[in-house]
Structure 1
Amino acid sequence: MVYEWVKHCVARYGKAEVESWYWEVWNEPDGAYWKGTRSEFFKLYDYAADGLKRALPTAKIGGANVTGGGTKYLDAFIQHCLNDTNYVTGKIGSPLDAVLFHAKGSPKVVDGTVVMDVRAQLRNIHGNYKIISKYPQLKNIPVIIGESDPEGCAACGMSTNPENAYRNGTMYSSYTAASFARLYELTDQYNINLLGAVTWSFEFENQPWFAGFRDLATNGVDKPVLNIFRMFGQMKGNRVETTSNRMYNLNSILDSSIRKPQTDVGALATKAERTAAMMIWNYHDEDKTGIPDSVRVIFKKLPVKTITFTEYRVDAYNSNAYEVWKKMGSPQNPDARQIAILEKAGQLKMIGKPVKQNSSKNIELVLPRQGVSLLKMDW
């Protein structure tokens, strides 16, 4: 079946296109979706890989997209691919062109307040990276986090799972900024060739407005979290060093998450030939408002004297259709005028206009809790 399916794809899309794809077998075989034994899954993988490679020898396949805590299963899968007898060929080893796993957080409602657990998601990444890095044969192998999210059930709305109320507003957007920065930090620590991390978000048709599903938009209106990915999309070139006296260190988060009284005010920066960008967030696991923080940004070694400076912002007042919808009275049947307003509110908002200024000038801004700013410098 796999052999015929791959042949069909090559005939329809062309060899070069299909060669660019990564194929996987099954999903979370260590969880509820696979009813067979571990050995039976490895046998399935071997036969699927054989059919794939017979149809297109240059095709790429990997696995096993285990659940966040499935490190032992992933370890056994890698052992099979590297050292066990192949169920089809009788030889040692099975094709492994990428390693995949999932990583999930674990929010809860505590005394009526949603409390996130970024530690849980990062521990999943840390544990699986540790397994991968112990095999020298896998050095530089592409790694894909097939699902990377604050929790595990995309289709569980906040009416049935009140802990998922974080999804509509700036809790989700600030969590995403803070967690991705630590993902990069762990990737550097283990020298992992991270190909990508999939935000496992969906489109839920014909559902109530802002029902709290894990999606990037509701009824076609973008949520604040989508604007964080728009910010990431404007960050070009390579990452450069940033330091902050209010940024939790990685080991502290892996130990006890972001739960101390003060928030995590951190930054991630990039630089390309004629542009640089810095993302700054003000995050805490507890979904509460608080006094905004004054932030001073000092840039070093920008290569020109004059830059064009632009700020984009996601917070309660900017790039936030959810707050606008609530101020409308939370309509479940908004009219065309209201929808147009919501669609505009859901876009990434520029603060003021771009200004030319001296590159050595410090940037002063006030960043509210759960706020995320993108500072962009062009020359």
Structure 2
Amino acid sequence: MKNQEKIGLSIGSATGENVRNIGSFGINSCHAALWLREDLPRHFRRLREELGMRYVRCHGIFNDQLEAVAPDGSFHFEKPLTVLERILDNGQIPFLELSGMPGALARTEESVCHYRFRSAPPRDWRRWEELVEQFLHVLIERFSREELCRWYFEVWNEPDLPFWTGTQEEYFKLYDLSRAAIKRQDSRFRVGGPATSKTAWIADFCRHVSAPSPEDPSPGCRCDFVSTHAYPSDIAFLDGAEGEVRLQSADLLPRLLTRVRQTMKLLPEPVPLFLGEWNSSAGPLAFNHDECANAAFIVKTMAELRSVCTGSLFWNGSDIYEECGFHSAPFHGGYGLLNVNGIPKASFHAFRFLRAVSGEELSAVWSRPAKCLGALAAREQKTVRLLLWNYLDPEKENETFEIRIDGLKSGAVCEQVMPENGSAYESWLRQGAPEFASVAELSQLESASHPRRFRYSADAGISLAPGEIALLTFELPEMIEP
């Protein structure tokens, strides 16, 4: 067995700023109709209570399953309203993606995904505008203008991919008609886009919304936020369960989003930037979503994007998910923080640890360079929380480190996410990867989903293997040597 690399970490003085946690801003679910189930709202309630996830985004509020537009073209919003009420009942707020072309309005029969997300532009553009306008009327009546001022309205999903079969010019027309219909109801309502994959179209979108258009002739900046998506893998989208996925380094995301932030200088005024979808890969049914190492990917990404993005919405909150059809195996490569049985994955704990590190940020300096290692520390009154990660880079060799915290006495409480301790996926593999787990097997997986808890030893430090994360909690000044 290879010896562990020894490395020290010094926790220093306050930086003068509070830690920004963009990870708790929001979370995605699959398509809106799944909110009519009883289990999905329960999953998202837990994400709100334990991870602080405030906003919820989902595809297809106008999909045919929700019957917003009847075959005769009349509008009926009972089921979309039920979806939104369930989100609000959880104490969460809609990040409302206006998408899914109703069959009665669609120009063609084209669709993607198992649940048939209709991707065609409307036959009659005026009818789309009327749909959005009447929907806003109903939302105001049901929820109030002041409530809707808390929401974000996003026009469509990934129009650069098969989710939209029109042209870029037609997407901009859809955006303009939607924005104009919303702003006519209340100029305070926040509208944005383009919700593209791999940060595509940002420059074109910024130029487009910087000047009036025939469909939306209002002056000034015609977007209240910019949203886009990024996944560090070699594909942007797969419409199905097949396809090999090659992971790329997490360093791709800060590069892409920093470039987006620079491009946004084309706008007449600064607006928020939201990373509206992201995960360690875009490919469906990829086991990197289930593995322990996804935790280190998440904390590294969120720590590095804190100064770039206003908020993030991770894809996805739950494995109750249907883009490729529903899968009932406890682990099947689903994107969720919770598996279909509601068992937390390592990724769940990553967001929990990130939320815990709050208050005044403290400097954290390694004794020597180690690019795979990261640390984030913060103080609330006398309590210090220190988040450590050892990122498993798919493009490089990785090492296990023995980390000593300079001056820290023994006794600090430590939680560590590692295979079979905070990451149940590896326990499922050891069970033989059963597709239908028994009650006893599910109980074992639930137990394995809890991180290892122990007391930090100044003599031994903490051993962190590639892909693992740890959260240390201690009190000042008694836990620090003078």
- TM more than 0.5: yes
**1:336 corresponding residue in structure 2:** 439
Counterpart contact for 1:239–1:271, Cα < 8 Å: yes
* Secondary structure of 1:128 counterpart: helix
The superposition leaves residues 276-297 of structure 1 with CA deviations (integer Å, 9 ceiling, x where unpaired) of 2221111232399976311112
Matched, 1:199 2:314: yes
Q: 1:177 to 1:363 in 2, by over 3 A?
A: farther
> In structure 2, what is the Cα distance between the partners aligned to 1:114 and 1:74?
25
**Is residue 221–residue 268 contact of structure 2 (8 Å, CA) maintained in 1?**
no
SS in 1 for 2:419: coil
Q: Could you tell me whether the CA contact under 8 Å between 2:330 and 2:437 is conserved in 1?
A: no
Normalised TM-score (structure 2): 0.62
Pick from 104, 115, 125: which aligns with 2:231? 104
Q: Report the equivalent of 2:463.
A: 366
Cα distance change, pair 99–45 in 1 and its aligned pair in 2 (3 A): same
Q: Where does structure 2 lack aligned partners over 5 or more consecutive residues?
A: 1-130, 236-243, 477-482
The answer on 1:138 being equivalent to 2:269 is: yes
Counting matched residue pairs gives 330
In the alignment, which residue of structure 2 is the partner of 1:218?
A: 339
Normalized per residue, which structure has more helix? 1
Contact 2:249–2:394, Cα closer than 8 Å, also in 1:
no
Are 1:233 and 2:348 counterparts? no
Deviation at 1:307, TM superposition (A): 11
Give the counterpart of 2:388 among 272, 276, 280: 280
| Aligned-partner Cα distance in 1 for 2:459–2:136 | 56
Match status 1:85 vs 2:85: no
Structure 1 residue aligned with 2:190: 60
C-alpha displacement of 1:171: 2.0
> Structure 1: how far apart are the matches of 2:459 and 2:148?
49
Alignment of 1:1-379 (within 5 A): 1-70=131-200, 73-82=201-210, 84-93=211-220, 95-106=222-233, 116-132=248-264, 134-135=265-266, 137-139=268-270, 141-153=271-283, 156-157=284-285, 164-184=286-306, 187=307, 192=308, 194-201=309-316, 202-203=318-319, 204=321, 205-220=326-341, 221-244=343-366, 245-248=368-371, 264-286=372-394, 292-298=400-406, 309-347=412-450, 349-352=451-454, 364-378=461-475
Give the SS at the match of 1:78. helix
Cα–Cα, structure 1 residues 22 and 91, in superposed 2: closer, same or farther, change >3 Å?
Answer: closer
User: Following the alignment from structure 2 to structure 1, what is the Cα–Cα distance between the partners of residues 404 and 267?
Assistant: 43
Alignment-mate amino acid for residue 187 of structure 2? P
Question: Normalising by structure 1, what TM-score?
Answer: 0.77
Q: Does the 8 Å CA contact 1:121/1:150 hold for their aligned counterparts? A: no
- When the two chains are superposed, the root-mean-square deviation of aligned CA atoms in Å is 3.0
Which AA in structure 1 matches 2:205?
F
| 1:362, distance to aligned residue in structure 2 (A) | 9.2
Question: Which one-letter code corresponds to 1:128 in the other structure?
Answer: V
Residue segments in structure 1 that go unaligned for 5+ positions in a row:
158-163, 249-263, 301-305
Identity %: 22
Displacement after TM superposition at 1:335 (Å): 2.1
CA displacement 1:248-293 (0-9 Å, x = unmatched)? 2xxxxxxxxxxxxxxx122122223343222111123239997631
Tell me if the contact between 2:420 and 2:449 (Cα under 8 Å) persists in the aligned partners.
no
Distance 1:24 1:37, change over 3 A: same
Task: Name the CA shift for 1:287/1:58 in 2 (closer, same or farther; >3 Å).
Answer: same
Q: Structure 1 residues 265 and 212, CA, compared in 2 at 3 Å: closer, same or farther?
A: same
Letter aligned with residue 474 of structure 2: M
Q: Which amino acid letter does the alignment assign opposite residue 332 of structure 1?
A: E
